[in-house]
Amino acid sequence: MCDEYLKFAETNLGKQTVRERRIAIKAHLKPLFVCYAGDITEIDLEAYKRSRMKVSPATINNELKILSCILKFGIEFGYLADMPKIKRLKVPVKNPHFLSEDQVGAVLSAADPRVRPMIQFLIFTGMRKGEMAHLEWTDIKWKRRQIHIQPKKDWSPKSARPRTIEINAHAMEALQEAHRRNENRVPPSLLVFPGRKGYLGDIRDGLNHACDRAGIARVTVHQLRHTCASLMVMKGSDLNRTNKNRNEKDCQQGAAPDYTAKAFHISACELRSLHPLHPLQYLLHYRTELPLHHVHKVLDLDQR
């Protein structure tokens, strides 16, 4: 039934999601569930968890989620009558990790010039790395200082919904540097940040090297998105410019950086106990009084 599910996924899910699920099915689910899908019991599920204890609880839960999708697919299309109850593991709550304003400057100063524009662009737009990798020059509206994130022929944003974000001064600087490089490229690329052969690859090594040179604990590429959110919380002018395209001005929100950092370090679980929103939604909406629909637009978060 896994093969039938993957055919269904290819039609209904994004390419990256299908690729990840294909790998999980082939490498983990099929080898450990050597039986028909309808024969899987709660005991088999517990045995699977024990066999995968060398990896993180989040990884195990992700694999169980894929298994749950397969079984639900089987029920929906008449392959199965029912399915066992799948209990997920508890995942330790981690404080969101991000760079402070001073650390951003240190990392950018220490970064290799070849990768610095990409790091700077991610920090000051909050875009996902996949969105940056597939960004084309036609998506940039220079006069309006806007970026249109929209589906492409072979790629779609995570939410599958197009959105527009404003370009602040730091993001514009990174774009202008990318444009200068593209003018010297033969032939010029349609992509804003092209790789050596087609789409931009992973920039983790460049980011790690910059953090090491700056003497700062390493952050992941995705945590640059957290950094963007934290900077937006501390700089009201950035929020207004990003969301309403207002004239640039310094709008202090009355919160000291140390206080704001402490607020942002509240765990996701604690934030949800205060309000049933995504943690970043809570911070941007309640710490800056930014309307929720603008928060959704900037960070492309699921509305709940």
pLDDT in tens, 194-206: 998 888 888 999 9
pLDDT tens digits for range 55-104: 999 999 999 999 999 999 999 999 999 999 999 999 887 776 889 889 99
What is residue 290's predicted lDDT score, i.e. its pLDDT?
A: 45
In this prediction, residue 300 carries a pLDDT of: 56
- How much is the mean pLDDT over the chain? 80
pLDDT digit string, tens, across residues 90-120: 988 777 688 988 999 999 999 999 999 999 9
Cα separation of 213 and 202, whole Å?
19
Q: What three-state secondary structure class fits 163?
A: strand
**Residue 162, pLDDT score:** 86
DSSP string, 236-286: HHHHHHHHH-PPP-----S--HHHHHHHHTS-HHHHHHH-SS-HHHHHHHH
Answer whether residue 208 shows pLDDT above 90.
yes
If DSSP states are collapsed to H, E and C, what string results for 62-105?
Answer: HHHHHHHHHHHHHHHCCCCCCCCCCCCCCCCCCCCCCCCHHHHH
- Sole residue written with tokens 């599910």: 5
d(CA 70, CA 84): 12
pLDDT band at 299; cut points 50, 70, 90: low
Identify the band that residue 301 occupies on the pLDDT scale cut at 50, 70 and 90: low
Supply the pLDDT for residue 227.
Answer: 87
At residue 252, the pLDDT reads 35
**What pLDDT is stored for residue 157 in this prediction?**
84
Lowest-confidence region among 19-28, 129-138, 243-252, 294-303: 243-252
- The confidence band for 165, taking pLDDT boundaries of 50, 70 and 90, is confident
Position 230 pLDDT exceeds 90: no
pLDDT of the residue at 196 = 84
Domains of the chain, each with CATH number or no CATH: 2-76 (no CATH), 101-299 (1.10.443.10)
- Is the pLDDT assigned to residue 288 strictly greater than 50? no
Task: Enumerate residues 6+ apart whose C-beta is below 8 A from 68.
Answer: 83, 86
Percent residues over pLDDT 70 in the chain: 76
Reply yes or no on whether the pLDDT at 138 is more than 50.
Answer: yes
pTM of the model: 0.67
Average pLDDT over every residue of 267-280: 40
User: Percentage of residues in the chain with pLDDT exceeding 90?
Assistant: 56
